[in-house]
Chains A and B, each alone.
Chain A
Amino acid sequence: MNERPEGCALVTGASRGIGAAIAHGLAEDGWSVGVNYRKDSEGAEQVVGEIETAGGSAVALQADVCEPGAADELFAALEERFGPVLVLVNNAGMRADSLASQLKDDDWDRVLGTNLSAPFRTTRRALSGMTRARFGRIVNIGSIVGQKANPGQANYAASKAGLIAFTSTVAAEVARRSVTVNSVAPGLVETELTEGIGDEILRAVPARRAGTPEEIAACVRFLASDGASYVNGTTLTVDGGLTA
């Protein structure tokens, strides 16, 4: 088991919701954190401010992860500021729901681009540094929709299922270098992304409530920790028992 070297963490889509909770959690665990955002600079600055007030270090980084050059920009900025990126959390995600028969090409492409292609590019950029450091933690935020059908989300489901398969494949490629690649698949969580999802689903959750961003972040923190050094290629489902 390799000891944790000096470096930092990057969380995409970290200006609010689950991403913000993950950024806070990793900062509490001693990581300097890159708080990536696309549009919500106010939210990202607030997250950075809160982390700094608590004694941690963080920087807000604007980039649309869908842009092919975004990964390079983000990593270069972080490497200069805090050193190598040793924890990558691919959290940025989007929905554009519609029944498959009505789904527009653009909504298919945007969702796959954000939820699957972007994590591929950040992961590709992260791996050379992590393999050379003989330490790395990549956590991809999936969804239970990647495993269990939810009508109206064919694009979202395909992207998340793809992300889970991507996770396990890359894990097998790099495990020998003490780099782990795992995913966390949240169920219903209280965020803006899940606003408007009805009470009917809540009744189907054995826990009878939605999860909180902090409950998802706790699992990401574990997967990023030294304690999870032998957990690789897996998906941790965090759904209050919904898919149990």
Chain B
Amino acid sequence: MATANKDQIQERLTEVLEGFGADREAITREADWESLDVDSLDLVELAQIVEEEYGVEMKEEHMKEMKTVGDAVDFVAERTES
């Protein structure tokens, strides 16, 4: 499993969200999915990438709790801390 700090995780998730069409400038810790036009299918894809790259399983019930970019970054960071 990869270990990564929050900045690295945020940078990677920002790249992924940009790939979904979100505006890089708008991708901040506080930004919520709706404001970034990130839909539920995007979140499923984000979860696949997180699982592949960090070995962290992001289930549907977890994703329901995640409202912002910061929530997702923290979720991954908490589970990759060694």
Q: Which residues of A approach B to under 8 Å, CB–CB?
A: 128, 131-132, 173-174, 176-177
Q: Taking chain A's interface residues, is the majority helix, strand, or loop, or is none over half, making it mixed?
A: helix
Interface residues of B in 15-62 (CB under 8 A from A): 39, 41, 44-45, 48
Instruction: Using CB atoms, name the residue of chain B closest to A176.
Output: B41
A94 to B54, alpha carbons, bound, how many Å? 43
Decide if the interface of chain B is mainly helix, strand, loop or mixed. helix
Q: Report yes or no: A132 in contact with B41, Cβ–Cβ below 8 A.
A: no
Q: Give me 4 other A-B pairs in contact (C-beta within 8 A), A128-B44, A131-B44, A176-B41 excluded.
A: A128-B48, A131-B41, A176-B39, A177-B41
Considering the chains assembled together, what is the distance between the CA atoms of A128 and B41 in angstroms? 10
Q: How many residues of B contact A (CB 8 A)?
A: 5
Residues of B close to A131: CB separation below 8 A: 41, 44-45
* Nearest neighbor of A129 in chain B, beta-carbon distance: B48
Shortest Cβ distance from residue B57 to the other chain A in the assembled complex, whole angstroms: 14
**Are B45 and A132 in contact, with the CB atoms below 8 A?**
yes
The 3 A-B pairs of least Cβ separation, nearest first, read: A128-B48, A131-B45, A173-B41
Residues of B within 8 Å of A128, CB to CB, are: 44-45, 48
> Which residues of A lie under 8 Å from residue B48 when comparing CB positions?
128, 132
With a cutoff of 8 Å between Cβ atoms, the chain A residues found around residue B45 in the complex are 128, 131-132
Residue of B nearest to A174 (CB): B41
Bound Cα distance from A177 to B20, whole angstroms: 9
CA distance A132 to B45 in the complex (A): 7
Shortest CB-to-CB span from A36 to chain B, Å, is: 25
Measured between beta carbons, the chain B residues less than 8 angstroms from A176 are 39, 41
| Docked CA distance A19–B81 (Å) | 50
Q: How far is the CA of A57 from the CA of B39 in the complex (A)?
A: 38
What's the least CB distance linking A191 to chain B, in Å?
Answer: 36
Q: List 13 A-B contacts (CB under 8 A).
A: A128-B44, A128-B45, A128-B48, A131-B41, A131-B44, A131-B45, A132-B45, A132-B48, A173-B41, A174-B41, A176-B39, A176-B41, A177-B41
The smallest C-beta distance from B39 to any residue of chain A, in angstroms, reads 7
Give the complex CA separation of A128 and B42 in angstroms.
11
Give Cα A174 to B44, complex, Å. 11
**Nearest-CB distance from A205 to chain B (Å)?**
41
What is the bound-complex CA distance between A173 and B44, given in angstroms?
Answer: 12
